[in-house]
Amino acid sequence: MSYPTRQLYYAGKHQPATSNKIFQTVDPATSKSLGDVQQAAPSDIDSAIASAQEAFPVWSTMSPMERSRILLKAVALLRERNDALATVETHDTGKPFTETSTVDVVTGADVLEYYAALIASGGLDGETTRLRPDAWVYTTKNALGVCAGIGAWNYPIQIALWKSAPCLAAGNCMVYKPSEFTPLHANLLAEVYTEAGVPPGVFNVVHGAGDVGAYLTSHPSIAKVSFTGQVSTGSKVAASAAGGMKYVTMELGGKSPLVILPDCEVENAVDGAMMANFFSTGQVCTNGTRVFVPRSMLPDFEKVLLSKMPNVRSGDVFAPSTNFGPLVSKVHYEKVLAYIRHGIDSDKAKLIHGGADPASPKGANSAGFWVQPTVFTNCTDSMKITREEIFGPVMCILPYDDVEEAVTRANDTPMGLAAGVFTKDVNAAHKVVERLQAGITWVNTWGESPAEMPVGGWKLSGVGVENGRKGLEAWVKNKSTLVEMGGIVGTVFSKL
């Protein structure tokens, strides 16, 4: 499969890059090229930002209802083209079509629909306060201007929509840079917005690697940076943005704890742990890779887990039975295998499933970036595989003796993106969740992030939230106005 060369997209149309540089995007399932992508030069980024600046006065002064109608047309187009867009996502990310067709485009469209409905129903309204009989205060929410969105490679179109939906709904314009590993979706989304009636320049796309992102996010005309990626890169982006006093939203990595309480049914505990580790081949920032299991439950937990591991089915990524794909790129493949080898050779963790041996799924191209779903048990908190984010299908089981101990150990991490509890006792679940240091928490489930739910990390895992009502607040600046109606201007400089 090959795709036409991807150009840049600004001023409402595809534009050739002037850098004379291209890079290729690769199908992770086959390691073969999917097509060429033109890399933006600094002057191209300047042009994209200029087109957004030109569009901002038009888009931001439209009524929320007008913007809502246009964005809802984009929602309809996304849903209509769901399978075609999901096919592109499967080729570009390696994720099974069973996943991209039911999650990636769907959840992105959900968020766009949510914000379109929210602004149409007063989501951008301010507040009015009667201060005293002859004075009152009112607030307004104002668009920020031209914003930068930096996407990640694990959920390309979903993340692009999670960023652009509230951005555009609030009246801003966006220059979006997708990951260089999964760039194919970006121009297609831009075309959808244009077809729906979004004015030229409101949503723009520039392609490239970190240098393109750095130029974009540090540009003096950018009012806000929304970034999704690893902690180390996010720290640099946030520091650069802070120097320019830009607004920021940072959705970064995690090393999330999944705490199984002693009363939990083993079957439910195992199903939850598998969803938290092997969905999307473990390439999910919120994955619960540190699984805390009561020591008394450990033998049964391992037994049931091993009996269910055959249900993790790799193979032809377009086959209806496949639910586990390859890793996204060769560099990431090598990184994950290095962690697995370290777990075996240096951490001396007990390997009970998978490992670093090459995987050759039936019906799939063995040249793809395939790994085995891997499980280590009897892990300790000091091991590298339990402390660092692997971002792959590697589960670390950590036995514990009492719940107090489990909570303390669960919080012993510089990251705080997600956490979860599995139990039959809802009261106990609330008490444990309240003490877990994470911005996203689940009880008896894992991974769902609906449009209505604000999500964001604590500690090094991020700044701000995406989605929900609070997610819209991240894309506006507030103005407060005090109006005096008494007819006399108060002063302390009166004649004595």
358-379 per-position pLDDT tens digit: 888 989 999 999 999 999 999 9
User: Once rounded to an integer, what is the mean pLDDT over residues 77-84?
Assistant: 98
Chain CA centroid to CA 176, Å: 14
pLDDT-based confidence at residue 9 (cuts at 50, 70, 90):
very high
Residue 358: its pLDDT value, please? 83
Q: pLDDT tens digits, residue range 467-494?
A: 999 999 999 999 999 999 999 998 999 8
Residue 360: its pLDDT value, please? 85
pLDDT-based confidence at residue 291 (cuts at 50, 70, 90):
very high
pLDDT cut 70: percent of the chain above it: 100
First to last CA, the chain: 87
pLDDT beyond 90 at 196:
yes
Q: Is 50 helix (H, G, I), strand (E, B) or coil?
A: helix
Kindly report the average pLDDT of the chain as a whole number. Answer: 97
Q: State how far the Cα of 72 lies from the Cα of 68, in Å rounded to an integer.
A: 6
Instruction: Taking each helix axis as running N to C, give the angle between helix 266-278 and helix 298-308, from 0 to 180 degrees, rounded to the nearest 10.
Output: 60
pLDDT-based confidence at residue 436 (cuts at 50, 70, 90):
very high
pLDDT beyond 80 at 168:
yes
* Active site annotation includes 466: no
pLDDT beyond 80 at 1:
no
Q: In what order do the strands lie in the sheet with 173-177?
A: 13-15, 8-10, 203-205, 173-177, 146-150, 224-228, 247-251, 462-463
- Whether the Cβ atoms of residue 332 and residue 182 lie closer than 8 Å to each other: no
Q: Where are the beta strands (DSSP E) in 278-324?
A: 290-294
Burial status of residue 128 (CB atoms within 10 A of its CB: 0-12, 13-18, 19 or more): exposed
User: Once rounded to an integer, what is the mean pLDDT over residues 45-63?
Assistant: 98
- Residue indicated by tokens 């700044």: 463
User: Once rounded to an integer, what is the mean pLDDT over residues 3-17?
Assistant: 98
The active-site residue out of 89, 113, 251, 389 is: 251
- Whether the Cβ atoms of residue 364 and residue 358 lie closer than 8 Å to each other: no
CA 264, 265, 269: angle at the middle one, nearest 5? 75
Residue 483: its pLDDT value, please? 97
Residue 215 identity: Y
Residue 90: its pLDDT value, please? 98
Q: State how far the Cα of 304 lies from the Cα of 406, in Å rounded to an integer.
A: 22
**Structure-derived torsion over alpha carbons of residues 110, 114, 115, 120, reported in degrees to the nearest 10:** 140
Count the alpha carbons within 13 Å of 280 in the hemisphere toward its beta carbon: 23
Q: pLDDT tens digits, residue range 313-343?
A: 999 999 999 999 999 999 999 999 999 999 9
Among 289, 476, 274, 265, CA closest to 383: 289
The residues that bridge with 443 in the sheet, in sequence order, are: 421
Tokens linked to 328: 């996204």
pLDDT-based confidence at residue 242 (cuts at 50, 70, 90):
confident
Count the alpha carbons within 13 Å of 189 in the hemisphere toward its beta carbon: 33
pLDDT-based confidence at residue 144 (cuts at 50, 70, 90):
very high
Q: Sign of torsion, CA 357 360 365 370?
A: negative
Q: pLDDT tens digits, residue range 87-110?
A: 999 999 999 999 999 999 999 999
Residue 313 identity: R
Residue 314: its pLDDT value, please? 97
